[in-house]
Amino acid sequence: MSTLPTRPATADKSPSSIAEIETQRLRRRTFAIISHPDAGKTTLTEKLLLFGNSIEIAGAVRGRKSERTAKSDWMEMEQERGISVSSTALTFEFAGAQINLLDTPGHHDFSEDTYRTLMAADAAVMVIDLAKGIEAQTEKLFRVCALRKIPVLTFVNKVDRRGRSPLEIIDEIERKFSIEPVPQNWPLGSGEDFRGFIDLHDDSVHLFDEHRANRRISSKVVSWSDLETVEPAISSDLIDATGEEVELVRMAGASLEQSQFLSGAQTPVFFGSALTNFGIEHFLHGFLKLCPPPGSRNATEPPSPNFSGFIFKIQANLDPRHRDRVAFLRVCSGMFERDMEVTIARSMKKIRLARAFRIFGQDRQTIDEAYPGDIIGLVCPGEFRLGDTLCQNEIVHQEGLPQFSPEFFAVLDCTDTARRKQFDRGLKQLIEEGAIQVFHDAHTKRRENLLAAVGELQFDVVRYRLESEYNAPTSLSWRPYKLVRWFNATPEQKAKIRLPYSGKLALDQFGHDAVLLQSEWDVKALHRANPDIQFQEMRVAT
Ligand code: GDP
C-alpha cells in the first residue's frame, strides 16, 4: 500500500467531467472474437485494424502469428503465453467510435484465458469458415458466451472460396446453438463464381473486386433489380439461384431485434471474406449499430460516475527481465486516472494505481486515463486476485469471474522434500492467479494437490513456473476425470447424493462442493440420479 499523495476522488467530479465520462462510455465498444484456429481470426483482426487506420498494428498482428507458428512446441507455448498475455486490447477508431478488440489466445490449451477474457467483453464475434462450418473450439466458446449471456454476432468467412451452401451454415447455427440466425447480407456465388453480396436491408448489391485486399476502398454498388443489365458478366443462373435463396431466407421471416440480440435469442449473420477485405466495412457498420456500449447490456440506467473495474487476468513474468506480474483490468464505470487511489473491494485495502499500461507485445505505453470498456494492465505487487473489483468512493462488487469446468486432472507433487515450502507457496500463488484450479477429496480431506485445467498445456506452465520461479521440481500423475459439476445442496441432500460409479465428490479451492466425472455420460447419470440438485458446469465465484 502506498502513502504517496493521491488525486482527488471522483465523487467531487464536476458535471462537465461526468458528462465527459458518459460521452467516452457511449463511444466505446468492447468485444472479443471467438473462433476455431484457421477460421480467419487473425486475418479479420488485421482487416478491422485497417479500417481503423492502424496499419502498423495490423502488420504486427500477422508478425506475431508467423513468429508463433515457426517455433518448437515449448517455444510455441511460451510464445502463445506471450500472445495471450502481452497484448491487452487492440484499439481502433471507426465512424466516431473507439473499438476495443480484446486479444484472446488462439490455442485451445489456453481456452480458460479466453473464457475469462470473454467476461470483459460486451459482445463476441463468432467467425465461421464457410467450408468447415461450426468447429469444436467455436462451439465451446459459443457456449461460454451463451452461459454468460454475451450477445454474439456471426461472421461467416472465406466466401471467396468454395464452401458449403450459406443456407446450410444458417441451418447449422440454428440447430447447434438454438439461436435464431438472422442474415444481414447474402453472398452472390462462391469460390471462383463469387461476385459480391446483397445487403438484405436495402437490396443493394456490393460487387466483389479482388484487388482491394489491403486497401480501404468502397465496393461498387448496384441495385438488385438492375444487376442483370448493369453487370451482364454475371450469369443469370447465378442471379436466379441467389434470388431463390434470398426468397427462402425472407420466407423464414426473421427480422433482427436489438433486444433479441442482446438476450442471446438472435445472432445477426454477416458473410464476407477477410482475406480479400470484402464485407468488412459492411460488417463494421452492422457491428457498431448492434454492439452495446459498456455498462448498458443489462442496465436500465447509466453506470455510476465513480471509477470501478475488475481484474479478469493476472499474468506473471510478462517480461522475464523484470519478473513482474500484470493484472488486467476492465474499466466498468467512471474514469481511471493515473495515480488515483482505489479500494480493493475484497480486502478493503487502499492502493495507489501508479503503474498502468497499455501493453502490446514487448511494448508498454503508460496510460494516464481510461474509460468504461477500456482494458489496462496494472503492474501489481501481489495485491490483486483474479476477479477482484477495484473501486473509488463507493464500494461495488462486480459479479465474480466464473470457474470453468476443467478437462484435465492430475496430481502434482514436489519431488524435492527440501523445497516443499517453496512448492506450497508457489502453487498457492499460481492458484490465486488462476493459472490452475485445485480440488480436494471431500471425504478424506487428504491434502492431495489434484490440479485441474481446461487445457493440458496449463500443467506445463505451472510446472515450468514452479521450477523456474520457486526452484521446486515436480512430478505429475494424471487422473481420468474429464469434467466438473458444481452444486449447492443441503447437508442432507449431500449425504444422500448418488454418484456414477467413477464419480468423485470433491471441494474446490474455495471450498465449494463439486463432483468430478469422467464423461458426458456420467453427467447425464448424475442428473438423472439426483433430480432435486442443480448441477452447474460453470461456477460464478462469490
Ligand atoms: P486464425 O487461426 O483464425 O487466426 O486464422 P488466419 O487468419 O491465420 O487464417 C487462416 C488461413 O485462412 C490463412 O491462410 C488465411 O490466409 C486464410 N484466410 C483467412 N481469411 C480468408 C478468406 O476470407 N478467404 C480465403 N480464401 N482465405 C482466408
Of the candidates 363, 356, 361, 359, the one whose C-alpha atom is nearest the C-alpha of residue 331 is: 356
Cell triple for residue 415? 519431488
The verdict on whether residue 107 carries a ligand-binding annotation is yes
Confidence of residue 351 (pLDDT cuts 50, 70, 90): very high
Which residues make Cβ contacts (< 8 Å) with residue 344, sequence separation at least 6?
A: 350, 351, 383, 384, 388, 389, 390
The verdict on whether residue 405 carries a ligand-binding annotation is no
Range in 11-20, 457-466, 492-501 with the lowest mean pLDDT:
11-20
pLDDT, tens digit, for every residue of 391-407? 997 777 767 678 888 99
Cell triple for residue 533? 440438485
What value does the mean pLDDT take over residues 216-235?
A: 83
How far away, in angstroms, is 188 Cα from ligand 1 center? 20
Phi, psi of 384 (to 5 degrees): -100, 150
How far away, in angstroms, is 167 Cα from ligand 1 center? 22
**Dihedral of the alpha carbons of 127, 245, 279, 140, in degrees to the nearest 10:** -10
Phi, psi of 307 (to 5 degrees): -65, 135
**3-class SS of residue 422:** helix
The verdict on whether residue 103 carries a ligand-binding annotation is yes
pLDDT, tens digit, for every residue of 45-61? 888 888 876 544 544 55
| Residue nearest atom 24 in ligand 1 by C-alpha distance | 158
pTM to 2 decimals? 0.86
Compute CA distances 239 → 219, 228, 494, whole Å: 19, 8, 63
CA 150 to chain CA mean position, Å: 10
| Residue nearest atom 19 in ligand 1 by C-alpha distance | 40
Look at residue 439 and tell me whether its pLDDT is greater than 50: yes
Which residues make Cβ contacts (< 8 Å) with residue 188, sequence separation at least 6?
A: 194, 195, 196, 197, 198, 205, 208, 234, 238, 239, 242
Side chain identity at residue 494, one-letter code: K
Which residues make Cβ contacts (< 8 Å) with residue 236, sequence separation at least 6?
A: 228
How far away, in angstroms, is 43 Cα from ligand 1 center? 6
Give pLDDT, residue 362.
Answer: 58
Of the candidates 407, 459, 470, the one whose C-alpha atom is nearest the C-alpha of residue 435 is: 459
The verdict on whether residue 160 carries a ligand-binding annotation is yes
Higher pLDDT, 82 or 359: 359
How far away, in angstroms, is 162 Cα from ligand 1 center? 14
Higher pLDDT, 241 or 4: 241
Q: Which atom of ligand 1 is nearest to the CA of 44?
A: 7
DSSP letter assigned to residue 293: P
Look at residue 67 and tell me whether its pLDDT is greater than 70: no
Which residues make Cβ contacts (< 8 Å) with residue 49, sequence separation at least 6?
A: 55, 57, 58, 61, 90, 92
- DSSP structure string for 147-205: HTT--EEEEEE-TTS--S-HHHHHHHHHHHH--EEEESEEEES-GGG--EEEETTTTEE
Side chain identity at residue 202, one-letter code: D
213 vs 83: CA distance, rounded Å: 25
DSSP letter assigned to residue 110: G
For the ranges 4-18, 97-111, 171-185, 352-366, the maximum mean pLDDT occurs at 171-185
Phi, psi of 41 (to 5 degrees): -60, -45
| Residue nearest atom 21 in ligand 1 by C-alpha distance | 275
The verdict on whether residue 36 carries a ligand-binding annotation is yes
Give the residues across from 411 on adjacent strands.
450, 477
275 vs 161: CA distance, rounded Å: 10
Side chain identity at residue 352, one-letter code: R
Of the candidates 59, 100, 106, the one whose C-alpha atom is nearest the C-alpha of residue 81 is: 106
Which residue out of 38, 111, 162, 208 has the highest number of ligand 1 atoms within 8 Å of its CB and is therefore the one to mutate? 38
Look at residue 70 and tell me whether its pLDDT is greater than 80: no
Tell how strand 196-199 and strand 185-188 pair up: antiparallel
Q: Using a 6 Å CB cutoff, which residues line ligand 1?
A: 35, 37-43, 65, 106, 157-158, 160-161, 273-275
Of the candidates 197, 155, 150, the one whose C-alpha atom is nearest the C-alpha of residue 173 is: 155
Look at residue 272 and tell me whether its pLDDT is greater than 80: yes
Look at residue 189 and tell me whether its pLDDT is greater than 80: yes
Range in 34-38, 209-213, 513-517 with the lowest mean pLDDT:
209-213
How far away, in angstroms, is 176 Cα from ligand 1 center? 24
Q: Are 408 and 112 in contact (CB under 8 A)?
A: no
Of the candidates 448, 539, 434, 433, the one whose C-alpha atom is nearest the C-alpha of residue 488 is: 539
Cell triple for residue 515? 463432483
Q: What whole-number percentage of the chain has pLDDT above 70?
A: 83
Q: Which residue has the cell 472460396?
A: 161
Q: Are 353 and 364 in contact (CB under 8 A)?
A: no
How far away, in angstroms, is 273 Cα from ligand 1 center? 9
Q: Are 77 and 66 in contact (CB under 8 A)?
A: no
How far away, in angstroms, is 467 Cα from ligand 1 center? 37
What interface predicted TM-score (ipTM) does this complex get?
0.99
Cβ burial, residue 282 (10 Å; 0-12/13-18/19+) = buried
| Residue nearest atom 11 in ligand 1 by C-alpha distance | 38
Which residues make Cβ contacts (< 8 Å) with residue 459, sequence separation at least 6?
A: 408, 410, 412, 436, 451, 453, 476
pLDDT, tens digit, for every residue of 421-436? 999 999 988 888 777 8
Q: Which residue has the cell 493459472?
A: 435
| Residue nearest atom 10 in ligand 1 by C-alpha distance | 38
Cell triple for residue 17? 467531467
The verdict on whether residue 53 carries a ligand-binding annotation is no
